[in-house]
Amino acid sequence: MSNQPNPASQHHVEQPSSSTAASPGMTDIRLAYTFRQDFPIGAAVSARTIHSQRDLLLQQYSSLTAENEMKFISVHPEQDKYTFDDADAIANFAREHSLELRGHTFVWHNQTPDWVFQDGQGGKADRNTLLTRLQQHMETVMGRYKDVIRCWDVVNEAISDEDSGTYLRPTPWLEGIGDDYIARAFELAHAVDPNALLFYNDYNESHPGKCERICRLMRELLAEGVPVHGVGLQAHWNIHDPSLDQIRAAMEKYAALGLQLQITEMDVSMFAFDDRRTNLKAPTAEMLRLQEERYEQYFRLFYEYREVLTSVTFWGAADDYTWLDGFPVRGRKNWPLLFDERQQPKPVCYDIVKARQKLE
Ligand code: GLA
């Protein structure tokens, strides 16, 4: 876990100008640089946002994840057709600027084309067919980005959200391959790139019941000798939930497994999940205050766990583009990130940077 070289140190991080480094003003903030000894700071990007958010990405972030462009349906929409243009654009941007790149994702119940699970004659693909397809897909995609991606989300969201009943989420992967599909996926990925760090990634990762189930899966995989190296905490949180205590307890449990942790898709929505209000044109003062408080607490916690926490990635770079504008309420503006709609740092960015600098 902590014996891995700190990835942040091998990658480009933009430095503030020396005259302002000791006491940053709002314009001098360099988030990734501030945390360069602790963990890389990442953002999910698209082939469009690497242009529209280019300067911000290069100034503030040291790691990227393709938001959709490396998912099965994006790169392999048909059995004999790979489409790499957008994924390549992101990989080339990372290469050109020496940014770290996380690979996302192989085995998932969403954004996987139907052909994968079909036998071509109106029936379902069998276990061997599915495993062979997965292997070939990994060989092609992992192989293509081996030089720039050292860490992959191999399996995404396989654990059920229900506290009672099934433990694994029912998916076509589970149905077609069987209960061992997660173990087999990690083994295939490891055979393709033995140097890659392989992650299990999920949401609601801090809710106690789901955390228990994820830990159970990890323990089972580890007991079988399956090459899994880390747990990805998606961290799609909001200003009310989960509580800091729940997050800390979950991180403690994952860390106790001896695995690396990565925050993989962080955003802090201004709305509780069941809050469907659509009348706000801007966040209220209370929302901003709570978001500020939460972000400060999170970064303190992340710093505490820096020995095992090897990445902190946001699901977006600034509030001008966030998937939460379309989810769970289509067309409702949200402001979940550390940089605002003008791609300027929110006041909390300054507090986070200042708090970290005091520890130097
Ligand atoms: C999940 C997936 C991501 C992304 C987000 C929402 O968390 O892992 O790839 O689709 O949902 O955008």
The whole-angstrom separation of Cα 212 and Cα 264 is: 19
Contact 232, 274 (CB under 8 A): no
Ligand 1 centroid, distance to 156 Cα (angstroms): 9
Residue-wise pLDDT for 81-100, tens only, equals: 999 999 999 999 999 999 99
The CA distances from residue 261 to 84, 87, 117, 138, 309, in Å, are 29, 25, 31, 23, 5
Percent of the chain residues topping a pLDDT of 90: 91
Beta-strand (E) ranges in the chain?
Answer: 41-45, 63-66, 100-107, 149-156, 197-202, 230-233, 236-238, 260-269, 309-314
Does 268 have pLDDT greater than 70?
yes
- pLDDT for 14 equals 84
Rg (CA), the chain: 20
Contact 190, 227 (CB under 8 A): yes
- pLDDT (average), residues 309-323: 98
Ligand 1 within 6 A of 265 CB? yes
Does 243 have pLDDT greater than 70?
yes
Ligand 1 centroid, distance to 158 Cα (angstroms): 13
Q: Which of 200, 265, 314 maximizes ligand 1 atoms within 8 Å of its Cβ, making it the mutation to test the pocket?
A: 265
Ligand 1 centroid, distance to 323 Cα (angstroms): 9
- pLDDT for 26 equals 57
Percent of the chain residues topping a pLDDT of 70: 94
Residue-wise pLDDT for 63-80, tens only, equals: 999 999 999 999 999 999
Atom 4, ligand 1: residue with shortest CA distance:
67
Per the residue annotation, which of 157, 187, 205, 292 is the catalytic one? 157
DSSP state of 19: G
- pLDDT (average), residues 129-151: 98
- pLDDT for 360 equals 84
Instruction: Let me know if 224 is a catalytic residue.
Output: no
Alpha-carbon dihedral angle through residues 155, 161, 162, 166, given to the nearest 10 degrees: -10
Mean pLDDT, the chain, rounded, equals: 94
Ligand 1 within 6 A of 237 CB? no
Instruction: Let me know if 265 is a catalytic residue.
Output: yes
The whole-angstrom separation of Cα 238 and Cα 175 is: 33
What is the position in ligand 1's atom list of the atom closest to the CA of 201? 8
Contact 103, 67 (CB under 8 A): no
- pTM for the whole thing? 0.94
- pLDDT (average), residues 185-195: 98
Ligand 1 centroid, distance to 291 Cα (angstroms): 21
Ligand 1 within 6 A of 115 CB? no
Atom 3, ligand 1: residue with shortest CA distance:
67
- pLDDT for 13 equals 86
- pLDDT (average), residues 331-339: 97
Adjacent-strand bridge partners of 285: none
Ligand 1 centroid, distance to 268 Cα (angstroms): 14
Ligand 1 within 6 A of 200 CB? no
Ligand 1 within 6 A of 234 CB? yes
